[in-house]
Amino acid sequence: MKAVTQDRYGPPEVLGLTEVCKPVAADDEVLVRVHAASVNARDWHVMRGDPYLARLSFGLGGPKARIRGTDFAGRVEAVGRGVKRLRPGDDVFGEADGAFAEYVCASQDAVAPKPSCWTFAQAAAAPLAGNTALMGLRDAGRLRPGQHVLVNGASGGVGTFAVQIAKSIGAEVTGVCSTRNTGPVLSLGADHVIDYTREDFTRNGQRYDVLLDLVGNRSLAECRRALTLEGTLVLSGGGVYEGGSLIGPVGLLLRARLTSPFVRRRQAVLTAVPSSRNLAALSDLAESGRLTPSIDRTYPLSEVPEAIGHLEGEHARAKVVIAVLDLDAHA
């Protein structure tokens, strides 16, 4: 099968479309014929081995997982003998290492039936970003109806899901984004937008019950200043961080954990774990018309390096999708 592989860390040029062996599903896995995949910030971090501290997990000399990609949507081709709730022919979406390929094996616990109202492209855009947004607001943020939430990074992959999920919970939503993205964020349902090129959300006097920080470009003290006295700051790592290429967001997240017992406002560090139950929750929101993935652009499998470069250069709005099959013919 064709797959996008990588043997060393570096720029997009280290990625190549090669022929590899088709995987075989383990007892608790499903083998999926991938129709579409999507790009996440994690993909370019693994590609570059950035930050260096993360190479302890990714692999010291090069990535342990040769095939890039995490999010996918497609059709089940085979199931392991321990899989009971999925069967060949089912349309599914989920997370697994190696999604930029014609086939991928995934744990049944990280896969769910695809919403019937979503295309394969839309479903491929949802797993990691949608799960992160859901866990950030519902679990870490404990967001309740009537509360006011601020999403810093509202036009990004996770942010576009967060705005819609927050509205589905019944919250008042303020999104922070650049000038060109204020319209799209409002169209997702945000009640207010803050253009960060013109206004500093930490200094405008507004207070929020929950602040979901998806950027990591503000100090803990600045973020706490934007919260109510009983407010919650949720940190997800983000794409911009003071730790640079050495430790990345680890310093900020560690300080949040260490200082939490000594500050009044709650600080929660988000660790998003793949979950079929959370995917099912996203599917329910989709079927009820409350959640629609936003897609910036689509690339063929052969242009994954260009797709990751587009995302890495911070030019993307919302999600970037990889068409592994002809999506018009397999919608």
The CATH number of whichever domain residue 163 belongs to comes to 3.40.50.720
Enclosing domain of residue 232: 129-269
User: In this structure, are 264 and 133 located in the same domain?
Assistant: yes
Task: Tell me: do 120 and 156 sit in the same domain.
Answer: no
Kindly provide the residue ranges of all beta strands, DSSP E only, lying in the chain, ordered along the sequence: 2-6, 15-19, 29-39, 71-79, 91-95, 103-107, 111-113, 148-152, 172-177, 192-195, 208-213, 227-235, 266-269, 295-300, 319-323
Q: Are residues 108 and 213 in the same domain?
A: no
Q: Are residues 82 and 39 in the same domain?
A: yes
Are 186 and 301 found together in one domain?
Answer: no
Q: Is residue 329 part of a domain?
A: no
117 to each of 113, 126, 316, how far by Cα in Å? 12, 13, 24
Q: What's the token pair of residue 101?
A: 């390929």
Res 249: pLDDT: 62
Q: Has this prediction a pTM greater than 0.85?
A: yes
Q: Name, in order, each residue with C-beta under 8 angstroms of 36's C-beta and a sequence gap of 6 or more.
A: 72, 73, 74, 119, 120, 121, 123, 124, 321, 322, 323, 324, 325, 327
In this structure, is residue 282 part of a structural domain? no
Q: Are 69 and 99 in contact (CB under 8 A)?
A: yes
* pLDDT by 10-residue block (mean), the chain, 331 residues: 95 95 97 98 86 77 91 98 97 98 98 98 98 97 98 96 98 97 97 97 96 91 95 79 53 69 84 95 98 96 95 82 77 51
For residue 50, what pLDDT is reported?
A: 77
Q: Do 116 and 137 have their domain in common?
A: no
Q: Per the domain annotation, does 283 fall within a domain?
A: no
Instruction: Say yes or no: 219 and 141 in one domain.
Output: yes
Answer yes or no: is 153 within a domain.
Answer: yes
Residues 99 and 110 in one domain: yes
DSSP string covering 91-113, please? EEEEE-TT-SBSEEEEEGGGEEE
**Number of separate domains in the chain:** 2
Whose structure tokens read 């992160």?
132
In a domain, 215, yes or no: yes
In a domain, 287, yes or no: no
Please, are residues 43 and 308 in contact by the beta-carbon 8 Å criterion?
Answer: yes
Q: How many CA atoms lie within 13 A of 128 on its CB side?
A: 22
Q: Rounded CA gap, 322 and 3, in Å?
A: 12
Residue 208 included in any domain: yes
| Per-residue confidence (pLDDT) for residue 253, from 0 to 100 | 67
Residue 217 pLDDT: 86
CATH number of the domain bearing residue 48: 3.90.180.10
Query: Are residue 68 and residue 85 in the same domain, yes or no?
Result: yes
Please tell me the predicted confidence (pLDDT) of residue 59. 80
CA-CA distances (angstroms) from residue 206 to 92, 176, 223, 225? Answer: 42, 13, 12, 9
Q: Cα dihedral sign for 65, 67, 69, 70? A: negative
Residue 84 in domain:
yes
**Which pLDDT value is given to residue 45?**
85
Whether residues 62 and 94 fall in one domain: yes
| 261 shares a domain with 138 | yes
Residues 140 and 264 both lie in one domain? yes
Phi, psi torsion values for 142, nearest 5 degrees: 55, 40
